[in-house]
Amino acid sequence: MTTMQVKSHSKAVGYLLWIFGFTGAHRFYYGKPVTGTIWFLSLGLLGVGWLIDLFLIPSMDRQANARFVTGRYDYTVAWILLTFLGMLGFHRFYMGKFITGFIWLITGGLFLFGWLYDFCTLNDQIDELNR
C-alpha cells in the first residue's frame, strides 16, 4: 500500500506562471529567487531560458515539493495573495503576521521593498510556519 504525498506546490500554477516566465514568476514560486531575479532582469534570458523552462517545470515542481513542508498555510494561496495583493499585505495577514500586514497595508508593501523581499523569501516564510 502506498501513501499519497501532499504536495506543497502545483505544476498547474507553475505552468500558469510560466506564461509570464519572462518575469521569473514561476522561478520565484518554486523557491529559486536568484534565477527568478535573473529571468526578471533579462526577460527570461531573452526568451531562450523561458522556452527551456517549459521542460524544466516538472523537475522544479518535484524539487519544491521535496524541499518545502506542507501544513496549515498553503503555498499557492500565499503566492496568489502576494502576487496580486502583496502591496496591501494580504499574504502577511493570511500567514498570521498581522503587525507587518498592517505596515504593508499603510505603506504600500513597505514602499515596495518589503514586497520584493517577500517575493524572494515567501516559500521559506511559509515553510517555517508550517514546521
Give me the half-sphere count of Cα atoms (radius 13 Å) on the Cβ side of residue 131: 8
In the listed set 28, 48, 67, which residue is the last one of a domain according to the structure?
67
In the listed set 45, 67, 89, which residue is the last one of a domain according to the structure?
67
Same domain, yes or no: 50 and 94: no
User: Is residue 113 very low, low, confident or very high in pLDDT (cuts 50, 70, 90)?
Assistant: very high
The arithmetic mean of pLDDT across residues 97-108, rounded, is 97
Given this model, what pLDDT does residue 1 score?
45
Same domain, yes or no: 40 and 82: no
Q: In sequence order, which ranges of 10-97 are alpha helices (DSSP H)?
A: 11-18, 25-29, 33-46, 48-67, 75-85, 90-94
Nearest Cα to 28, choosing from 12, 42, 48, 9? 9
Given this model, what pLDDT does residue 49 score?
93
User: Is residue 16 very low, low, confident or very high in pLDDT (cuts 50, 70, 90)?
Assistant: very high
- pLDDT over 80 (residue 64): yes
